[in-house]
Amino acid sequence: MLLETAGLTKRFGGVTAVNAVDLAVDERTTLGLIGPNGAGKTTLINLISGVLTADEGAIRFAGADISREPAHRLAARGIARTFQGVRVFKGLSVLDNVLIGAHTRLRQDVLLRLAPTRGRTDPADALALLERVGLARARAGALAGELPYGDQRRLEIARALASRPRLLILDEPAAGMNPTESLALRSLMRSLVTDGLTIILIEHDVRLVMGACDRVVVLNFGRKIADGSPAEIQRDPVVREAYLGSEDAA
């Protein structure tokens, strides 16, 4: 088990955004996290990635208790993530974005840089990553904010991969992607898992979730209401109720 949460709870004022959630993610698998809007998916991964701290419950990652650790330390432990709505460093170059993603892995070179002959960080790894996520190397010098939205999403994935994480959390990576791009994302995810990565995927694109995930967890009103294989989830009456039972559900 790479990641485990037990009784994870987070409240905002009177609202319990995440309510006693138990989660278990096996190494080298992809876990899908789905649920209606406001179900607590993003809050849950904010807890796992250290952006928020849980009120109750525990998180274990690779055998260690990480419940109280700040985000930057979790990044060093091997948890990388992307953000809903993309948070690339817009005013910096595409290459610098990926190099910043490698922050925990790169040797501090601030003193070495004082020598006038010392060049910038070797960009080879970063460029290879850009290529892997489907961005042209030629765009490495462009400002990240200039890229089309879909490319910014890909850049964000490259930045997350630059730290060589063990767990990659993708928060709605396919939003705004066309079917071809979404398909490319699916094959990228598959090849990453083959390479040893574990993925948590939050996504509304049901086809992507069912096609890419080994297991799916469904949240509703902060609670876990289902947990199983994609086929089981599709048949689950409770899930159908949550998604289709009410008038306003999409």
Partner 1 sequence: METLLEFFRTYATAIAVIGISALLALSVWLTLYAGQLTLGNAAFMGVGAYVSALLGRHLDTPFPLALLSGALAAAVIAVPLGVTVFRLRGVYLAIATLAFGEIVRVILLATPITGKGQGLNGIPPKTELWHIYLSLAVVAYVLWRVQGSTVGRAWAALREDELASASQGIDVRRFKLASFVIGALIAGWAGGLSAHLTFSIDPSDFGFSKAVQILVFAVVGGIPNVLGPIVGAVVFTALPEILRPLKDYRDIFQGLILLGVIVFLPRGLVTFLDVRRTRKLERIGAADVA
Distance (Å, whole) CA 59 – CA 66: 6
Our finding on whether 233 is near partner 1 (CB under 8 A) is no
**The binder of partner 1 chosen from 92, 140, 175, 184 (CB under 8 A):** 92
Our finding on whether 83 is near partner 1 (CB under 8 A) is yes
| 175-194 binders of partner 1 (CB under 8 A) | none
Q: How far is the CB of 133 from partner 1 (least distance, A)?
A: 16
| 41-60 binders of partner 1 (CB under 8 A) | 49-51
Binding mask 96-115 for partner 1 (x = CB under 8 A): x--xxx-xx-xxxxx-xxx-
Q: How far is the CB of 79 from partner 1 (least distance, A)?
A: 9
Q: How far is the CB of 73 from partner 1 (least distance, A)?
A: 8
Q: Which is nearer to partner 1, 99 or 129 (CB)?
A: 99
* Structure tokens belonging to residue 82: 């992307």
Our finding on whether 68 is near partner 1 (CB under 8 A) is no
Binding mask 119-158 for partner 1 (x = CB under 8 A): -xx---------------------x-xx------------
Our finding on whether 76 is near partner 1 (CB under 8 A) is yes
Q: Which is nearer to partner 1, 143 or 175 (CB)?
A: 143
**Cβ neighbourhood burial of 144 (10 Å; 0-12, 13-18, 19+):** buried
Cα angle 196-48-186, degrees, rounded to a multiple of 5:
45
Our finding on whether 24 is near partner 1 (CB under 8 A) is no
Q: How far is the CB of 105 from partner 1 (least distance, A)?
A: 8
For residue 24, the cross-strand partners are: 4
Q: Which is nearer to partner 1, 86 or 242 (CB)?
A: 86
The residues binding partner 1 (CB under 8 A) are 49-51, 70-73, 75-76, 80-81, 83, 87-92, 96, 99-101, 103-104, 106-110, 112-114, 116, 118, 120-121, 143, 145-146, 159, 163
